[in-house]
Amino acid sequence: MLVAFSVAPSGTGRADGSVHDAVAAAVRIVRNSGLPSRTTSMFTEIEGEWDEVFAVVKQATDAVLPFGSRVSLVLKADIRPGFTGELDAKVERLEEALADEGSSLEEPDRLD
């Protein structure tokens, strides 16, 4: 199972709306879990079995709670039983498809 999630506090009382300390607390939980993960500018992706992934998401959400009066959690899951290593494999398949199409992506003939 792959899960992409974003967790952030609101009602932080900070005029600049910055949430980086809260997000760092959540990402620290994910990285310390030992599960395969990747963090980008918008989401953290994590891979594992249902119970272990959602336990980490809950812990990460709990880590953000002290930073505001409420927490927002956005989550997307790819549930594909029997598959592992998809955190990287899905991207590798995409890159292969793009490379295979590379020769057909040349600039089309112009009519001028």
Q: Say how many domains are in the chain.
A: 1
Domain that holds residue 47: 2-104
The answer to whether residue 109 sits within a structural domain is no
The answer to whether residue 27 sits within a structural domain is yes
Burial pattern 51-84, b for ≥16 Cβ within 10 A else e, equals: eebbebbeebbebbeebbeebeeeeeeeeeeeee
The answer to whether residue 112 sits within a structural domain is no
The answer to whether residue 97 sits within a structural domain is yes
The enclosing domain of 11 has a CATH number of: 3.30.70.930
16 confidence band (pLDDT: 50, 70, 90): low
The answer to whether residue 111 sits within a structural domain is no
pTM: predicted TM-score of the whole model, two decimal places = 0.82
Q: Give SS3 for 44.
A: strand
Asked if the model's pLDDT at residue 108 lies above 70, the reply is: no
The pLDDT tens digits of the residues spanning 23-74 come to 999 999 999 999 999 999 999 999 999 999 999 999 999 999 999 999 999 9
The answer to whether residue 87 sits within a structural domain is yes
